[in-house]
């Protein structure tokens, strides 16, 4: 059985993706089996995080690129979706301006900035969710990998990139709502975002996206290219001397990873109902890395499991003992790196596929 845990992961995912919406929609409220909309939003959020963790694991676990800027791709995808949702509000905003979002009216802007054109169409926004993170990853990755920036240097400049984007998005003049970001969304493709039915469908779609991302990543790392990528992780110079174009492999992997992160962000925004520049904060990117480390890097399903585990713990702890959360997270960082280099997945018996 080559990938037993991966299969288990997919089965659990399918059960959640079908079961959770059903428990919310088909079971009457008040029943013991009823799933509240709040719980459904949480599950949806966790699955978006799991996708992000998958993206980070793809580059870090399989190619040794520790990106501390993946939250930026996530946020960019989220912003692209947010722009679509903002334009869907139309005349229903506080100021009732059919064309301009509220914050632009508030800033006395006369017309829509050029980069907002097209976002009133879903297909355009959906394309941007993919294109914008991919473009950033392509430019950044091309520059970085071509000049062989590796290891911690790469980590530090990815972090700086994310930080610079955060500072930029905090500015009102950028045209992305400043520090308030986007919120008060009304509907998506005509479906009311407050309706539980829409949320149930969104959850199912998120589960589907996570499953597809997993399958795609799995296929990628199992392919011949995936083996080269792992070879780069274990011995970059040696792979180069063997005649492989290391930069090209790294660049494509980085772009694919950024696209997965962007899609995760675009699914995240309609479910949580807000996107603001703090999503770019360096700590977010680093937190993603710790999800992956806790779950077990280089396994994909481990990264997803880690994201869900850590975030579940975060929800419980920040609710019950807010003081303790940072201690717990900090301790988790230290203990996992010191004592659990393979993550919790490493504790499972009979892992046939150690990559």
**The binder of other proteins chosen from 289, 300, 304, 307 (CB under 8 A):** 289
Longest dimension (CA), the chain: 65
What b/e sequence results for 178-201 when a residue is b if at least 16 CB atoms lie within 10 Å of its CB, and e otherwise?
beebbbebebbeeeebeebebbbe
Residues 6+ apart with CB under 8 A from 97: 91, 104, 105
Nearest approach, Cβ of residue 258 and other proteins (Å): 16
**Which CB sits closer to other proteins, 93 or 277?**
277
Q: Which range in 163-171, 206-214, 222-230, 258-266 contacts other proteins by CB under 8 A?
A: 163-171
For residues 322 and 312, give the distance between their C-alpha atoms in angstroms, rounded to a whole number: 14
For residues 353 and 81, give the distance between their C-alpha atoms in angstroms, rounded to a whole number: 37
Contact mark string toward other proteins, 43..82, x via CB under 8 A: -----------------------x----------------
Residue 156 binds other proteins, judged by CB under 8 A: yes
Residue 284 binds other proteins, judged by CB under 8 A: no
* 59, 73 Cβ separation under 8 angstroms: no
For residues 338 and 100, give the distance between their C-alpha atoms in angstroms, rounded to a whole number: 52
Residue 155 binds other proteins, judged by CB under 8 A: yes
For residues 139 and 15, give the distance between their C-alpha atoms in angstroms, rounded to a whole number: 39
Nearest approach, Cβ of residue 250 and other proteins (Å): 14
**Which CB sits closer to other proteins, 204 or 310?**
310
**The binder of other proteins chosen from 108, 111, 147, 352 (CB under 8 A):** 147
Dihedral sign, Cα of residue 49, residue 273, residue 120, residue 276: negative
Nearest approach, Cβ of residue 150 and other proteins (Å): 6
- Whole-angstrom CA distances from 261 to 160, 171, 274, 329 are 18, 24, 17, 22
Nearest approach, Cβ of residue 106 and other proteins (Å): 20
DSSP-derived secondary structure letter, 350: -
Residue 217 binds other proteins, judged by CB under 8 A: no
Residue 150 binds other proteins, judged by CB under 8 A: yes
Residue 332 binds other proteins, judged by CB under 8 A: yes
Nearest approach, Cβ of residue 294 and other proteins (Å): 10
Residue 338 binds other proteins, judged by CB under 8 A: yes
**Which CB sits closer to other proteins, 122 or 163?**
163
For residues 256 and 235, give the distance between their C-alpha atoms in angstroms, rounded to a whole number: 22
**Which CB sits closer to other proteins, 225 or 313?**
313
* 245, 58 Cβ separation under 8 angstroms: no
For residues 178 and 46, give the distance between their C-alpha atoms in angstroms, rounded to a whole number: 26
Residue 241 binds other proteins, judged by CB under 8 A: no
Q: Which range in 30-38, 158-166, 188-196, 302-310 contacts other proteins by CB under 8 A?
A: 158-166
Residue 293 binds other proteins, judged by CB under 8 A: yes
Name which of 36, 46, 56 is nearest 297 in CA terms.
56
**Which CB sits closer to other proteins, 125 or 288?**
288
Dihedral sign, Cα of residue 306, residue 221, residue 219, residue 201: positive
* 299, 345 Cβ separation under 8 angstroms: yes
Nearest approach, Cβ of residue 281 and other proteins (Å): 9
Full 3-state SS string of 116-177: HCCCCCHHHHHHHHHHHHHHHHHHHHHHHHHCCCCHHHHHHHHHHHHHHHHHHHHCHHHCCC
Residue 290 binds other proteins, judged by CB under 8 A: yes
Residue 149 binds other proteins, judged by CB under 8 A: yes
Residue 159 binds other proteins, judged by CB under 8 A: yes
Binding site for other proteins (CB under 8 A): 66, 140, 143-144, 146-153, 155-157, 159-161, 163-164, 167-168, 170-171, 282-283, 286, 289-290, 293, 323, 326-327, 329-334, 336-338, 341
């Amino acid at each position: 059985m080559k990938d037993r845990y991966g299969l288990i992961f997919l089965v659990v995912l399918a059960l959640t993706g079908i079961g959770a919406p059903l428990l919310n929609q088909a079971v009457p409220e008040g029943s013991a089996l009823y799933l509240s909309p709040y719980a459904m939003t949480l599950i949806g959020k966790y699955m978006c995080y799991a996708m992000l963790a998958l993206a980070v694991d793809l580059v870090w676990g399989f190619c040794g690129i520790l990106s501390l800027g993946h939250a930026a791709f996530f946020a960019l995808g989220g912003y692209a979706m947010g722009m679509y949702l903002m334009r869907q509000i139309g005349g229903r905003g506080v100021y009732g301006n059919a064309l301009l979002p509220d914050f632009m009216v508030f800033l006395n802007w006369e017309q829509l900035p050029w980069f907002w054109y097209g976002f009133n169409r879903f297909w355009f926004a959906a394309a941007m969710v993919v294109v914008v993170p991919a473009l950033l990853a392509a430019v950044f990755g091309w520059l970085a990998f071509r000049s062989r920036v590796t290891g911690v240097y790469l980590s530090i400049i990815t972090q700086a990139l994310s930080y610079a984007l955060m500072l930029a998005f905090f500015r009102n003049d950028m045209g992305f709502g400043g520090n308030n970001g986007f919120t008060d969304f009304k509907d998506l493709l005509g479906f009311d975002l407050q309706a539980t039915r829409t949320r149930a469908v969104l959850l199912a779609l998120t589960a589907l996206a996570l499953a597809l991302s997993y399958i795609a990543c799995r296929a990628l790392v199992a392919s011949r290219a995936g083996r080269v990528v792992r070879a780069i992780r274990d011995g970059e110079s040696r792979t180069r001397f063997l005649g492989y174009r290391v930069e090209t492999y790294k660049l494509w992997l980085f772009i694919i990873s950024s696209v997965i992160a962007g899609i995760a962000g675009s699914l995240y925004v309609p479910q949580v109902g807000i996107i603001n520049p703090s999503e770019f904060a360096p700590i977010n990117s680093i937190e993603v890395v710790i999800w992956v480390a806790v779950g077990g890097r280089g396994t994909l399903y481990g990264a997803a499991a880690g994201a869900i585990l850590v975030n579940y713990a975060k929800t419980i702890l920040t609710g019950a003992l807010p003081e303790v959360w940072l201690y717990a997270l900090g301790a988790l960082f230290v203990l996992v790196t010191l004592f659990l280099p393979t993550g919790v997945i490493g504790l499972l018996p009979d892992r046939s596929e150690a990559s």
